[in-house]
């Protein structure tokens, strides 16, 4: 089975923003958020960073062939580091670009410049983090239009981590408005579907949107975190299998959300969640979800 992980994070240093506060890596997996210190990664991440060497070692250790480096303002802006990683491992890594979506036309030209000058592709939006500097703004606000136009014109992929039902509405609007953008919805709909403020209908709404819009894909990472169950994460399996029953195997792609998810599971367990568990999905369809879809779409 070819395994491709479409959602991994690397950073030479945590330098992000959350809850309106700066985040800075310290040591032994810990991070300062404002005045608080939190255990952000397992203590074995001695310098509280996530290097590409360490990612490649985890991939080799567990049989993961390729990975996509996922950007996120939560960890900071690390485009240069992504470029370095991709240049070092061009056959195994691809990197997602990050600009400030609130930057209007300037952000769009910055993004275009990254596409022209570097191997980076796509764009990441994690609504909670992306709008820390512009509270209340939505993905459909006119200010964001230049970035959407750039993504559409260059037929790029946007990876969205939604937090609210407004975000799910926006995903419906935008995926209809921009058929040439490929939308990957992170974590099967994430906080918007499984967070404590999510409505019971939210996940069905997202699946209906995806059924109607063939440019929407779902990544299977992080779901166990929302249910706080031990391995083999029965609630997470059910979410992934519901996605499979609604959309078929073509539009699900396995991923880990490494290294943050190592707080909840081993890398092997995150692979097994789909590769060995999820009994409703036949093995030839698991092959598609675990790697074949990603190979076709991104490589």
Which of 170, 257 has the CB closer to Zn ion? 257
- 3-state DSSP assignment of residue 242: helix
| Window 168-207: contact mask with Zn ion (x via CB under 5 A) | ----------------------------------------
Quote the Cα angle for 66-168-282, to 5°: 45
Shortest reach from residue 257's CB to Zn ion, in Å: 4
Residues in the chain: 299
Q: How far apart are CA 61 and CA 76, in angstroms?
A: 27
For residue 225, state whether it binds Zn ion (rule: CB under 5 A): no
Of the chain, the end-to-end C-alpha distance in Å amounts to 17
Shortest reach from residue 279's CB to Zn ion, in Å: 27
Shortest reach from residue 185's CB to Zn ion, in Å: 12
- Selected range binding Zn ion among 102-110, 231-239, 240-248, 257-265, rule: CB under 5 A: 257-265
Please state the φ and ψ torsions of residue 147, each to the nearest 5 degrees.
-70, -45
- Selected range binding Zn ion among 11-19, 233-241, 254-262, 269-277, rule: CB under 5 A: 254-262
Q: How far, rounded to the nearest angstrom, does the alpha carbon of residue 289 sit from its chain's CA centroid?
A: 15
Which of 73, 291 has the CB closer to Zn ion? 73
For residue 277, state whether it binds Zn ion (rule: CB under 5 A): no
- Selected range binding Zn ion among 201-209, 239-247, 253-261, 271-279, rule: CB under 5 A: 253-261
Which of 108, 193 has the CB closer to Zn ion? 193
Number of chain positions touching Zn ion (CB under 5 A) = 1
Q: Is 18 exposed, middle or buried (0-12, 13-18, 19+ CB in 10 A)?
A: middle
For residue 257, state whether it binds Zn ion (rule: CB under 5 A): yes
Q: How far is CA 147 from CA 1, 21, 53, 89, 264, in A?
A: 37, 26, 32, 28, 34
Tokens representing residue 180 in the block:
């040439």
Which residue has its beta carbon closest to Zn ion? 257
Q: Report the interface residues with Zn ion, using CB under 5 A.
A: 257
């Amino acid at each position: 089975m070819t395994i491709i992980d479409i959602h991994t994070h690397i950073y030479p240093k945590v330098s992000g923003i959350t809850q309106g506060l700066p985040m800075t890596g310290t040591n032994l997996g810990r991070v300062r958020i404002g005045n608080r210190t939190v255990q952000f990664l397992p203590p074995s991440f001695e310098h509280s960073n996530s290097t590409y060497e360490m990612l490649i070692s985890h991939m080799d250790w567990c049989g993961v062939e390729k990975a996509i480096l996922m950007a996120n303002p939560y960890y900071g802006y690390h485009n240069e580091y992504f470029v370095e990683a991709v240049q070092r491992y061009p056959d195994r890594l691809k990197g997602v670009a990050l600009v400030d979506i609130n930057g209007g036309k300037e952000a769009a030209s910055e993004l275009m410049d990254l596409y022209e000058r570097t191997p980076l592709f796509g764009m990441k939006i994690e609504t909670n983090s992306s709008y820390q500097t512009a509270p209340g703004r939505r993905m459909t606000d006119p200010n964001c239009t230049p970035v959407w136009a750039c993504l559409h014109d260059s037929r790029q992929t946007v990876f969205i981590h939604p937090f609210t039902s407004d975000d799910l509405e926006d995903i419906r609007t935008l995926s209809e408005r921009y058929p040439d953008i490929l939308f990957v919805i992170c974590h099967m709909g994430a906080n918007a579907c499984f967070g404590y403020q999510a409505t019971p209908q939210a996940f069905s709404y997202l699946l209906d949107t995806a059924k109607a819009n063939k440019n929407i894909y779902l990544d299977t990472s992080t779901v166990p975190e929302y249910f706080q169950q031990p391995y083999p994460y029965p609630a997470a399996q059910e979410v992934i299998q519901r996605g499979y029953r609604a959309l078929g195997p073509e539009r699900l792609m396995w991923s880990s959300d490494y290294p943050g998810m190592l707080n909840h599971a081993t890398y092997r367990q995150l692979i097994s969640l789909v590769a060995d568990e999820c009994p409703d999905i036949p093995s030839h369809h698991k092959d598609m979800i675990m790697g074949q879809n990603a190979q076709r779409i991104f490589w």
